């Protein structure tokens, strides 16, 4: 997964300043959300997976974890690919 994404990211954005990484990952998350919500709705309606209500504290913890644990690490990973090479970055992970 990451190997192919690394090579494609480097191939289509050879310069570091040619991509706005936060916007790239923001749209990636938006597209994943838009594509996965119908699947989650079907799973909930069929009873294969039931979803309940979550409290505000859990939503806050998940949001903070998503921002710092996922978004920040992915932006830094993509910047490292632009500055070095896909091979160097993926050998370090």
pTM of the model: 0.61
Any idea what DSSP says for residue 47? T
| Residues 37 and 49 sit within 8 Å (Cβ to Cβ) | no
Among 9-13, 56-60, 71-75, the range of highest mean pLDDT: 56-60
pLDDT at residue 24 greater than cutoff 70: yes
Q: Please indicate whether residue 12 or residue 58 has the higher confidence score (pLDDT).
A: 58
Neighbours of 89 (CB within 10 A): 22
For residue 66, pLDDT beyond 70: yes
How much is the average pLDDT of 45-74?
Answer: 89
């Amino acid at each position: 997964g990451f190997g192919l994404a690394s090579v494609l990211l480097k191939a289509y954005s050879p310069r570091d300043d040619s991509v706005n990484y936060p916007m790239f990952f923001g749209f990636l998350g938006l597209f994943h959300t838009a594509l996965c919500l119908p699947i989650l709705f079907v799973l909930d309606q069929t009873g294969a997976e039931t979803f309940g209500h979550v409290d505000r504290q859990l939503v806050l913890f998940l949001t903070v974890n998503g921002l710092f644990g996922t978004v920040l690490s992915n932006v830094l990973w993509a910047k490292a690919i632009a500055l070095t090479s896909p091979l160097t970055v993926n050998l370090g992970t």
